[in-house]
A and B are shown apart, each in its own frame.
Chain A
Amino acid sequence: MFKDSVITAKFKKRELTIALVCFGLAFIVNVCCVIAYSCPWVEIFTQIGFVIVFALIFYALCIVARLLALAVTRLIRKCRG
């Protein structure tokens, strides 16, 4: 009834990379906010909770974008024959 799923090392590496990139982006957003709103630099550490939430949002957006891309690719392949 259920099939075994295999998570390959390549898959894990790719997802981890994407997650790290998302975290990096969120971190940069926080740094930009500190500069733009003239806030104390200590917020880089104190606002880490917000950074993690932002990173999760970016990662979720990435998943949605990749799913959309996959759907479009499959549709095109199907149309071609």
Chain B
Amino acid sequence: MKDEKLIDRRSFLSKIGGMGLAGAALSAFPWMESCSPDRNRETSREKVRLGIIGPGSRGQYLMSFLKEIPQAEVVALCDIYEPNLNLGSEMFPKAERYTDYRRLLENPEVEAVFVTTPLDRHFRMVMDALDAGKNVYCEKAMAYTIDQCKQMYMKRKETGRILFIGQQRLFDPKYHKAMEGVVRGDYGPVVNVRNYWFRNGDWRRPVPSPEYERLINWRLYREYSRGLMTELACHQLQNGTLATGMLPEKVMGSGNIIYWKDGREVFDSVCAIYTFPNGVNMTFESVISNAHFGMGEQILCKDAMIDLPGSRIYRETPPAKSGIEQLIGEIEQGLFSNSVFAGTSWNPENASSDKGISIMPEADGDGTREIVQAFCNSCITGKMPPRILEEAYYGSVLCLLGDEALLQGKTLYLEDKYRI
């Protein structure tokens, strides 16, 4: 009974289904079938035994969902940093503890692993896990280099195991609903895609002693991370490929350390422009010394702007007001506007003040629950959901190619050998 409630409340497909759109959602986003209410019911009597490699902050976040998913059972934990291992054990006290992931992979009880470690370790751990016959959920970005991403993709094909990359937006109902309209052409052709992520903070975590600096603040060092591009852009770049149905052919941009000159090696300010074959641009911009604009993902079509995280549509020509409201507006303008003695030669082209229309007001969450549920279901059924890995692969490839362009200061093209 409890499981039924969980499915009803939390599965976004049931919400979309209630709106008569389940069929359309499944055809545009075929991987969603892996967390549909039917699939949840089908797997509800079985459990997948999981190992968590890296129960740090992200690992614990995912584990909080695993605690609530009836099909999941965490049986093993692995971390080289004991405080994180202890926090993991607090959540799953019966789970076996490891400090070497290879020992965890040798445990035959473990059927699948979550890899939530620093970026540079994804490749080796995922390859070893697939070789050991485990199914894998790996946090984004997929790997440290494009070549590694390709090798991971090929390894999954070779082994036939399940491989998910933690691109939770692919499971976010708000994004699906908005993208459906864009893909159908409801708002005219896509003319631009804007992604940005502004924060105001040093992105550092407190360290108990200096020898842990690089281990804990791995995001700041090139040896382990590709910085803002792999940590933030990776989530957003798939918006352009989903909206246009194409892959960008080239990327250029600039990245610098402009404010947080504290020994970090990754950029604290980046701006990258991706260009699609039809000339449409997609930008990613991020600065971590001013949070005014926050996070935004916007699809600009000829007839409307779609704000994905805000789940709103802003029409270029908003619906006309009622007659009596127009009369009030004219009276107001007549009473309070300034008298014009001569025509102005320039008018400020301010942003539209239209409040937009909500796309999906009932949607909650960010898709993480759904992607974790989908992974558990897929492990039980042994079926890899269609297209999900390809979408995640290109998300990672694009952010890595972007970082390479920033580093080299050149326009880089997506090579054919990386197209799958």
Contact = CB atoms under 8 A, between A and B. Distances in A.
Interface string B301-337: 0000000000000000000101111111000000000
B322 A43 contact: yes
In order of increasing CB-CB distance, the 3 nearest A-B pairs are A33-B323, A39-B323, A37-B323
A43 B328 CA distance: 15
A39 B326 CA distance: 10
From DSSP, what is the main secondary structure of chain A's interface residues? helix
B320 A39 contact: yes
Interface of A: 29-30, 33-34, 36-37, 39, 43, 46-47, 50-51, 54
Contacts of B327: 29, 33, 36-37
User: Number of contact residues on B: which range applies?
Assistant: under 10
A20 B325 CA distance: 22
Contacts of B328: 50
Residue among A36, A39, A51 with the highest chain B CB neighbour number at 10 A: A39
Contacts, number: 34
B10 to A, nearest CB: 38
Contacts of B323: 30, 33-34, 36-37, 39, 43, 47
Given A29-B327, A33-B322, A39-B326, 5 more contacts: A33-B326, A39-B320, A39-B322, A51-B324, A54-B324
Contacts of B326: 33, 37, 39
Residue among A33, A36, A46, A54 with the highest chain B CB neighbour number at 10 A: A33
Contacts of A30: 323-324
Contacts of A54: 324
From DSSP, what is the main secondary structure of chain B's interface residues? helix
B256 to A, nearest CB: 53
A23 B235 CA distance: 57
A63 to B, nearest CB: 21
Contacts of A47: 322-325
Contacts of B322: 33, 39, 43, 46-47, 50
Residue among A37, A46, A47, A51 with the highest chain B CB neighbour number at 10 A: A37
Contacts of A43: 322-324
B326 to A, nearest CB: 5
Contacts of B320: 37, 39
A47 B320 CA distance: 14
A50 B323 CA distance: 11
Contacts of B325: 47, 50
A47 B321 CA distance: 11
B321 to A, nearest CB: 9
B88 to A, nearest CB: 58
A46 B325 CA distance: 12
B66 to A, nearest CB: 50
B318 to A, nearest CB: 15
A30 B322 CA distance: 10
B193 to A, nearest CB: 36
Residue among B320, B322, B325, B327 with the highest chain A CB neighbour number at 10 A: B322
A10 to B, nearest CB: 34
A25 B320 CA distance: 24
Contacts of A46: 322
Contacts of A50: 322, 324-325, 328
A46 B320 CA distance: 14
A6 to B, nearest CB: 39
24 contacts: A29-B324, A29-B327, A30-B323, A30-B324, A33-B322, A33-B323, A33-B326, A34-B323, A36-B323, A36-B327, A37-B320, A37-B326, A37-B327, A39-B322, A39-B326, A43-B322, A43-B323, A46-B322, A47-B322, A47-B323, A47-B325, A50-B322, A50-B324, A50-B328
B243 to A, nearest CB: 34
Contacts of B324: 29-30, 33, 43, 47, 50-51, 54
A54 to B, nearest CB: 8
Nearest to A37: B323
Contacts of A51: 324
B330 to A, nearest CB: 10
